[in-house]
Amino acid sequence: MIDIKQTERPDQHERAILVGVILPEFDGNPEDPLEEIRGLAKTASLQVVGTMLQKRHQVDIATYIGSGKVEELKGLVEAHEADVVVFDNDLGPGQTRNLERALGAKVVDRTEVILDIFATHARTHEAHLQVELAQLEYAMPRLKRMWTHLSRYKGGIGVRGPGEKQLEEDRRLVGHRIQELKAKLAKIQARKEREVAGRADIPTISLVGYTNAGKSTLMNALTGAGVLVEDMLFATLDTRTRKWRFKGGGQALLSDTVGFIRNLPHALVASFKATLEEARQADLLLHVVDASSPEAESQVKAVVEVLRELGLEEHPTLLVLNKADQVPDRSFLDVLRAHHRNSVTISARGQEGLDDLESAVREALLERELEAEVETGVSNGRVLAYLAQHAQIQDRAYDEDRVILKCRIPRRCLNYLQENGVEVRSNGQRMYA
């Protein structure tokens, strides 16, 4: 990981050169391709002293950027007395090793920067476990890099030097730790699933979106939660849940989640599944977008891609165009609204449009209900009490020891009814959770 420390210049952080290789599939900001990695470097407390861009059709297998650019980059490192070179790309272990030898400076890639930020911002025990798992899975194929200084001890075929033995031992220990962390996180995720499923008596809504889109500000505006708000990427890692009391009556549980980013490392998405359980179980997702960003559309696509990786691409979602008060040109909003008809425009900071958002949310939650017939035994007091609390009962009919209730019921209640052996029919078809 990046070692954020003071250098010989005690008044400064590590001096960094940012490098971006623009490949044909590049989906960042074409006007400022290094915008996002610059924000990540700032969050990681790096001092950016220089930048370099290169367009390539394919990466160089040895150094990613090719020998000519390596020489140019070496000159840049020396001229600015840089401590670290940060690539806005994912490098292979061999490429990192070759670049460090050629440049005489530490080289880190995009994933390593993000992992370092997550490690710095982790607060809870769960977050620390998730970050450690992602870090170890990233480090496993790179362990050899740590032992290159022992290469002179290598023997011939069938002879292992101490460096190779140590490497094998390290891999074994890391592998055991990864399995241990996965087991712990599986237990946490199972517990979270039970906790979230146990909230069937109140609708659940989860905030998702690009990092720094204003999710925490919106949560504060809707619930008065008082959660941390910082102009910093990944300021929030841990999920917080608060009650949102609607002005028109009723309430919901609102959860704030970790922000997403373009090319979010797969290891992080996998390790943070427990944290994102709130989103997986929510009745509705509020996809918060920074409408003032020129990259709003590409950020929407990046979030949709992460949701797809989590299996949530078909989840009921309402797009929230935030920061409307900061839009430099109203045509930005017009274009976004034209592309996303099912959206609400707000300013969480300015408390504007929140009534419209509440109305849209209440309407979306109503769509999560269905007209149904529920049949159970007349002696099933627990289920009947549950239905009286959660369903709008319109009619009831009795047939010997059975009762048939015509009602409007939230779909989230189907799990509970099925687990208790209750038959639910809608439009003549038997329903399953």
Query: Measured between alpha carbons, how far is 4 from 252 in angstroms, rounded to an integer?
Result: 41
Tell me which residue of 369, 333, 373 sits closest to 352, measured CA to CA. Answer: 333
Query: Which pLDDT value is given to residue 423?
Result: 84
pTM assigned to the model: 0.73
The span from the CA of 142 to the CA of 433, in Å, is 44
pLDDT at 230: 60
Q: Tokens representing 124? A: 């809870």
Looking at residue 166, what is its pLDDT?
Answer: 74
Cα–Cα distance, 188 to 202 (Å, whole number): 22
Helix (H) or strand (E) holding 178: helix 162-197
pLDDT at position 237 is: 61
Q: What Rg value do the Cα atoms of the chain yield, rounded? A: 26
- Contact between 254 and 365 (Cβ < 8 Å): no
pLDDT at 77: 96
State the DSSP string of 134-154.
HHHHHHGGGGGGGGGGGGGG-
For tokens 């476990």, the residue is: 129
How far, in Å, CA of 131 to CA of 118, rounded?
6
Pairing state between β 106-108 and 47-55:
unpaired
* Nearest Cα to Cα of residue 319 among 296, 294, 351, 342: 342
- Please give the Cα distance from 250 to 427 (Å, whole number): 28
Average pLDDT, consecutive stretches of 10 residues, N- to C-terminus, the chain (433 residues) = 40 84 84 88 92 94 95 96 94 93 93 87 82 88 57 40 68 91 88 68 85 89 75 63 84 84 74 70 90 90 87 88 91 89 93 94 83 89 84 87 87 76 82 56
Which position has the token pair 């959206």? Answer: 343
Give strand pairing partners of 407: 372, 393
CA 93, 99, 102, 105 torsion-angle sign: negative
Q: Report which of 225, 292, 228, 283 is spatially closest to residue 258, judged by C-alpha positions.
A: 228
Q: What's the pLDDT score for residue 324?
A: 94
Contact 141, 93 (CB under 8 A): yes
